[in-house]
Structure 1
Amino acid sequence: MTNPITIFEDTAPCSERPRPVRVAVLGCSGSIGTQTLDVARRHADKVQVTALSVNSSTDKLVAAAREFGCAHVAVADAAHRNDACLAELPCGCDAGFGAEAVSALAALPDVDIVVNALVGFAGIHAGYEALRADKVLAYANKESIVCGGDLLMPMAKPGRLIPVDSEHSAIFQCLVGERSREVHCIWLTCSGGPFYGKTRAELDVVTAADALAHPTWDMGAKITIDSASLMNKGLEVIEAKHLFQVPVDSVRVLVQRQSKIHSMVEFADGVVKAQLGGSDMRAPIQYALSYPERWEASVERVDWGSCAPITFGEADEETFGCLRLAKDAGRTGGTLPCAMNAANEVANLAFRQGSCGFTEIERVVSAVMDQTSVERVENLQQLLDVDARAREAARRVLTAEV
């Protein structure tokens, strides 16, 4: 049994963060990364951004490094090593190139917190290095926990792994000070995405542009497509299983269209605690940076007396089969979630590129899961091998369906 990251009665309280806290933002040009920099601007007396990474957006990297006076930067795509704009980096700022350079930022001595906003399974390397170096890991890279939770969670000390996903941040906050044995279930909320209520026939003809029109959240393209298919919620069920040490079937998915209740925890006595707020990722990002403190809000406050009524609904696992598949993978465990995630990443990209239909995502994932020989998770290299094999299998399925 791994240690839950929530603050139950049997865990030591987390000491207060240094002031200012020194932060590495990995993936600083993406949605989570740019909003993390917004929080840093709002709380410049409390946050010092010391390291930044991007995949290829070197112009944005240089602008942010100059604004925050960063000492370290990394570019994952080494083909951008000679971009002219890099000459404008701050004096004395060291620059690294390639995936290993990005991961190395997570272990720097002048970094206290690593915000892992990298997209997809590739982010597991940086998360692994951050935990190995005993940094606080504020992570939005759910795929690394989905694929490697069995590997990463034993490395995480209480209070050192803080979720940035709005739902898991909400659960984390609801559980502070509670007893793990008194949790009855977790209510994991979702908006339902842009296709809530649609039939399978209607989903067969939707486009990537339709799927990218999320009703309440502004996110990157990959996660927005995952939200439309409900795969994102399936990944979050597996994530919650690892983070909070509960069975998959104790995580109940609940549609909350207004995205005001970010998740809830129900206890043995029937009492339910919920965390509410606006649809703004800067709130959970700030909590991950400030924990165990609370800083002045970086987001617009909700006027609860005038907001629209809050409604609930059931998640349709038959129409949105990706949710069902992810839960099946979570129940089985081992290397199956890793294979499932890899297949989804390949199919998600194919849909965005127009080379497969929306419902084909589910078919590709199902086919790859059926082909996967499940093993116990042993090490990072094993997961990399499983990921590579599953991606190749997904490409073969896509090619066969053309």
Structure 2
Amino acid sequence: MAEAAPLSDPHTLFDPGEGRRDLVILGSTGSIGTQAVDLVLSHPERFRVTALSAAGGQVELLAQQARLLRVDAIAVARQNTAGRLRDALRAAYGSEPLPEILAGPHAASELAASRCHTVLNGISGSIGLGPTLAALDAGRTLALANKESLIVGGPLVKALAKPGQVIPVDSEHAALFQALRAGARSDVRRLVLTASGGPFRGRSKKELAHVTPEQTLAHPTWAMGPVITVNSATLVNKGIEVIEAHLLYDIPFQDIEVVVHPQSYVHSMVEFKDGSTLAQASPPDMRGPIGIGIGWPERVPGAAPVIDWSSATAWEFFRLDHEAFPAVQLARQVGESGGTAPAVFNAANEECVSSFLQGRLPFNGIVETVAEIVAEHATPRSGETLTLEDVLEAEVWARRRARSRIAVMRGPGPVTALARERRE
């Protein structure tokens, strides 16, 4: 294995800090953000939130969070929601002074660079890359839940990050992070990522041809947003996590395996050269990984529920069916290509997922279309010369190409009630 320094190293402390930590939470009204707020409120002696950001679709919730946490600043990405946010803050604060309000596409990046110990990036989508780079450049510890930061801008993140500066918040990568602490990196033989298998585990490619958005969004284990739920069903999400694991821990792609574990109690495993395997296990609850992200190297007491070992249970592991779910193999190829290929993969997938939810693309068509667009993509630039402009241009091209391909494809049939509701 190469001995380059990994992006995320559980043996290296970037800034352990002393006393209560000041945090900035980006994407505070989303799934990660709301759970992080709950965790902070239950541990006021450990954490203080100085600033919050959100897209702007839930200004009342954002205002309530700001009032409970007594933040200094608050930001929304949508400029036209600043007025509604101010009104919501006045209603929440009464006669008390309001926090500073920032608005616009760069507001979250400004907060990410503000004075604090840790930035939790829980933003969804590639717009989270800018705040990630801003936090790293400002020297903040980064608790990273925004997958796209690594997928579309991996080389940019690696170029800025200092040893130990990035703590992963994904459940799988938080699991690997903890298990890797048990041994030297040179002792690692393989990383094993677990996948729930989503709602369609065990189905063949033919059986997946006519599944609906309603069926796809019915995840058996996790409650997530629509895009990540579809990604879990196609296993695109797991393919993305393979790329993330490679970038975070500098482990070769051939030494990263995926197995299906429907119960979702074992979040991932590290296999060592002496034949031993360490698995991190806990109930499927994101507050545990969030606690690792914002509290490391100390654990947050009661962050998540514990396993009831007194109850009889069975944990199963299955080989991944690559024919029915080709996304993981495709992601490996994309990750090995590097450059702007991962940005194309991610952007094309987002467009295809949107079209699937609108009833304009069949389920199998998601990964098939992404694969065609990735194959069309010009030879990517070397990671050493990659710029943010390269990434943004590649994303624009991929989205345009995906929309063009989908427009000329024959639809899967009648639009479902859910798809019709989403259009309206």
TM-score with structure 2 setting the length: 0.91
Aligned residue runs from structure 1 range 324-335, under 5 A: 324-335=329-340
TM-aligned CA deviation for residue 21 of structure 1: 0.8
2:45 matched residue in structure 1: 45
TM-aligned CA deviation for residue 154 of structure 1: 2.7
Deviates more, 1:63-72 or 1:201-210: 201-210
> Is the contact made by 1:78 and 1:98 (CA closer than 8 Å) also made in structure 2?
yes
Q: Which residues of structure 1 form unaligned runs of 5+?
A: none
Structure 1 runs of 4+ aligned residues shifted over 3 Å read: 5-8, 11-15, 86-90
1:27 matched residue in structure 2: 27
Write the distance in 2 (CA, Å) between the matches of 1:118 and 1:307: 38
> Is the contact made by 1:52 and 1:65 (CA closer than 8 Å) also made in structure 2?
yes
Please point out which of 281, 285, 291 is paired with 2:286. Answer: 281
1:399 matched residue in structure 2: 407
Q: Kindly indicate whether residue 214 of structure 2 is the aligned counterpart of residue 198 of structure 1.
A: no
Write the distance in 1 (CA, Å) between the matches of 2:374 and 2:339: 12
TM-aligned CA deviation for residue 89 of structure 1: 6.1
> Is the contact made by 2:15 and 2:141 (CA closer than 8 Å) also made in structure 1?
no
Please point out which of 106, 113, 120 is paired with 1:107. Answer: 113
Write the distance in 1 (CA, Å) between the matches of 2:108 and 2:9: 30
Please point out which of 294, 300, 319 is paired with 2:299. Answer: 294
Secondary structure of the 2:106 match is: helix
2:72 matched residue in structure 1: 71
TM-aligned CA deviation for residue 14 of structure 1: 4.4
> Is the contact made by 1:117 and 1:141 (CA closer than 8 Å) also made in structure 2?
yes
The residue identity in structure 1 corresponding to 2:48 is: Q
Secondary structure of the 1:188 match is: strand
Aligned residue runs from structure 1 range 47-62, under 5 A: 47-56=47-56, 57-62=58-63
Aligned residue runs from structure 1 range 376-395, under 5 A: 376-377=382-383, 378-395=386-403
Alpha-carbon distance change, 37 to 307 in structure 1, aligned in 2, over 3 angstroms: farther
TM-aligned CA deviation for residue 158 of structure 1: 2.2
Write the distance in 1 (CA, Å) between the matches of 2:320 and 2:239: 11
> Is the contact made by 2:193 and 2:257 (CA closer than 8 Å) also made in structure 1?
yes
TM-aligned CA deviation for residue 2 of structure 1: 5.4
Deviates more, 1:148-157 or 1:21-30: 148-157
Please point out which of 71, 82, 85 is paired with 2:88. Answer: 85
Please point out which of 346, 356, 380 is paired with 2:351. Answer: 346
1:96 matched residue in structure 2: 102
> Is the contact made by 1:318 and 1:324 (CA closer than 8 Å) also made in structure 2?
no
Alpha-carbon distance change, 359 to 72 in structure 1, aligned in 2, over 3 angstroms: same
Secondary structure of the 2:192 match is: strand
Q: Kindly indicate whether residue 146 of structure 2 is the aligned counterpart of residue 141 of structure 1.
A: yes
Alpha-carbon distance change, 34 to 240 in structure 1, aligned in 2, over 3 angstroms: same
> Is the contact made by 2:9 and 2:249 (CA closer than 8 Å) also made in structure 1?
no
Write the distance in 2 (CA, Å) between the matches of 1:95 and 1:352: 34
Aligned residue runs from structure 1 range 170-319, under 5 A: 170-176=175-181, 178-319=183-324
The residue identity in structure 1 corresponding to 2:31 is: S
The percentage of aligned residue pairs carrying the same residue is: 38
> Is the contact made by 1:3 and 1:156 (CA closer than 8 Å) also made in structure 2?
no
Secondary structure of the 2:190 match is: strand
Write the distance in 2 (CA, Å) between the matches of 1:240 and 1:283: 19
Write the distance in 1 (CA, Å) between the matches of 2:129 and 2:301: 32
TM-aligned CA deviation for residue 230 of structure 1: 0.2
1:3 matched residue in structure 2: 5
> Is the contact made by 2:261 and 2:316 (CA closer than 8 Å) also made in structure 1?
yes
Write the distance in 2 (CA, Å) between the matches of 1:384 and 1:174: 35
Please point out which of 326, 334, 342 is paired with 1:337. Answer: 342
TM-score with structure 1 setting the length: 0.96
Secondary structure of the 1:82 match is: helix
The residue identity in structure 2 corresponding to 1:36 is: A
Alpha-carbon distance change, 127 to 89 in structure 1, aligned in 2, over 3 angstroms: farther
TM-aligned CA deviation for residue 352 of structure 1: 1.8
> Is the contact made by 1:17 and 1:291 (CA closer than 8 Å) also made in structure 2?
no
Write the distance in 1 (CA, Å) between the matches of 2:372 and 2:16: 48
TM-aligned CA deviation for residue 278 of structure 1: 0.5
The residue identity in structure 2 corresponding to 1:246 is: I
The number of residue pairs the alignment matches comes to: 399
Q: Which residues of structure 2 form unaligned runs of 5+?
A: 411-424
The residue identity in structure 2 corresponding to 1:85 is: A
- Superposed CA deviations along residues 268-327 of structure 1, whole A, max 9, x for unmatched, are 111111100010000000111110011212222111231520110011111112222111
TM-aligned CA deviation for residue 88 of structure 1: 3.7
Alpha-carbon distance change, 168 to 146 in structure 1, aligned in 2, over 3 angstroms: same
Alpha-carbon distance change, 307 to 125 in structure 1, aligned in 2, over 3 angstroms: farther
2:415 matched residue in structure 1: none
The residue identity in structure 1 corresponding to 2:368 is: R
Write the distance in 2 (CA, Å) between the matches of 1:177 and 1:54: 37
Write the distance in 1 (CA, Å) between the matches of 2:312 and 2:131: 40
> Is the contact made by 1:40 and 1:47 (CA closer than 8 Å) also made in structure 2?
yes
Write the distance in 1 (CA, Å) between the matches of 2:102 and 2:370: 35
Secondary structure of the 1:318 match is: coil
TM-aligned CA deviation for residue 87 of structure 1: 3.3
- Superposed CA deviations along residues 345-386 of structure 1, whole A, max 9, x for unmatched, are 111111122222211111220111011012223211111111
